[in-house]
Structure 1
Amino acid sequence: MPTYEYQCDTCGIFDMLRRVDQRDARCSCPMCHKQARRVIASAPALSAMSGGSRAAHAANERAAHAPMSSGEYRAYKHPPGCGCCGSSAKATARAADGSKGFPTKRPWMISH
């Protein structure tokens, strides 16, 4: 359950651990037991996240308004389907009956 901040008119700001569906409802102050309203007094604690989680959140935020265009993929050392790494086998193998197989690809995938 997440922690939300509430402000009591008498005691000030305090944190309360509540379910998401109860976040906007008033709650009683732990000191004076008066009803307090929810406030956003501080920024979320994103610095407590791991570096990988922060990078994933940043990528999601970037993708929301500026997805990567096809021209930007050329900047990668190995663009999709380059074939420079891996085995020397061809990506597509044809059988005598004309059916295709992909020996270097994922064997569990069904070809179409």
Structure 2
Amino acid sequence: MPLYDFKCPRHGLFHELVPIRASGDAHACPECGELSPRVLLIPPQLLMMDPARRNAMARNEKAAHEPRHGNRASERESGCCHQHRHKPQVFYTADGNKMFPSARPWMISH
């Protein structure tokens, strides 16, 4: 039998072993005998967690069964993988030389 959490209005939180089929039922408080509803507790670490980390964990959990391919939403929606890649922007200097501001600066232009 699993251990469930219940909360009495007068005496607070208590734990009881209850059969699974009766998991949603109220349980009697061990101190006063009053029927107390089952509660779902949130771990304090989750409440104190940085929101960015919480979102990242939720995103990882969502992607666990359905990994994402590609970085852009438009490629995922259209089903296009690598057919229409963007060409790097080319700028020409005053003397006619090519300049690629977003490309790798260590590469020699042709």
Normalised by the shorter chain, which TM-score bucket? 0.3 to 0.5
- Please say which structure displays the higher CA radius of gyration: 2
State the TM-score, normalizing by the size of structure 2: 0.41
State the TM-score, normalizing by the size of structure 1: 0.40
